[in-house]
Amino acid sequence: MRLLAGLARQAASAPPDGRLDLADGETVASLAARCGVDPAAVGTVLVNGRAAGPEVRLAPGDDVVFVPPITGG
């Protein structure tokens, strides 16, 4: 998993190398919760390059990217 644009600074329990073992029935939401990612700070979650909702089930090897709202220019 990766935390973009400042989310890593807030997520105290995220593994530094981005690799973690999946819990039984792990979803995007449960992964965020146990890594300390504030759901209110997340704009979009990408699972294997596709936008995914909080209920999406994760499988071993999935690439999960948490992206906050980004609108600057």
Q: CB-wise, 22 or 67, nearer to another protein?
A: 67
Please report how close the Cβ of residue 38 comes to another protein at its closest, in angstroms. 8
**49 vs 5: CA distance, rounded Å:** 17
**Distance between CA atoms of residues 72 and 61, nearest Å:** 32
- The single residue among 13, 15, 43, 57 that binds another protein, judged by CB under 8 A, is 43
Q: Which helix (H) or strand (E) holds 31?
A: helix 28-35
Closest to 52 in 3D by CA, of 44, 60, 61: 44
Binding string to another protein for residues 49 to 68, with x set by CB under 8 A, is what? xxx-------------x-xx
Q: Which residues bind another protein (CB under 8 A)?
A: 2, 4-7, 40-44, 46, 49-51, 65, 67-73
